[in-house]
């Protein structure tokens, strides 16, 4: 892994350890790197009223916007288990707001990155800010 990707992986892994997931017991961490070079991270935060829970990607995007950053270059999501922890449909759309179709989404497990996708692969023909201009 490059130094930049390693930093993203470490940030996401640290966020995953802070996840609040008492119901699913599936802890997720996400970290994104912006055009300014900053890294912002988030974890999933579940709720006793299940649908109110928030995904890790949503938390990372909130941290980014709060910091005044907007342009996502790449994202890394980490989850345990044998399956790829790809962003859910709603989070693909959330990421779309701040990333181009070539924005990379790295999907990792505890051992490292398992696969990398371009956002356009995971959310083709998407609706974004340009549709409203």
| CB 100 to ligand THU: min, Å | 20
Of 5, 16, 40, 44, the one binding ligand THU by CB under 6 A: 44
The answer to whether 99 contacts ligand THU (rule: CB under 6 A) is no
The answer to whether 56 contacts ligand THU (rule: CB under 6 A) is yes
Alpha carbon dihedral 50, 52, 71, 130, in 10-degree steps, equals 110
The active-site residue out of 4, 46, 57, 111 is 57
Of 31, 85, 103, 108, the one binding ligand THU by CB under 6 A: 85
Single out the residue of 48, 43, 6, 41 nearest to residue 28, CA to CA: 43
Piece of the chain touching ligand THU by CB under 6 A; list 9-17, 50-58, 93-101, 113-121: 50-58
Enumerate the active-site residues.
57
Q: Which residues bind ligand THU (CB under 6 A)?
A: 21, 24, 26, 28, 44, 46, 53, 55-57, 77, 85, 87-88, 91
């Amino acid at each position: 892994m490059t130094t930049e990707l390693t930093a993203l992986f470490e940030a996401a892994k640290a966020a995953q350890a802070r996840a609040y997931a008492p119901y699913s017991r599936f802890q997720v961490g996400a970290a994104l790197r912006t055009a300014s070079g900053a890294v912002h991270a988030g974890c999933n935060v579940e709720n006793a009223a299940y649908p109110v829970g928030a995904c890790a990607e949503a938390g990372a995007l909130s941290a980014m916007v709060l910091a005044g950053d907007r342009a996502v270059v790449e994202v890394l999501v980490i989850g345990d288990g044998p399956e790829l922890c790809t962003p859910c449909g709603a989070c693909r759309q959330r990421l779309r707001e701040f990333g181009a179709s070539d924005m990379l989404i790295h999907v990792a497990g505890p051992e490292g990155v398992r696969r990398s996708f371009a956002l356009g692969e995971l959310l083709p023909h998407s609706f974004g800010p340009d549709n409203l201009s």
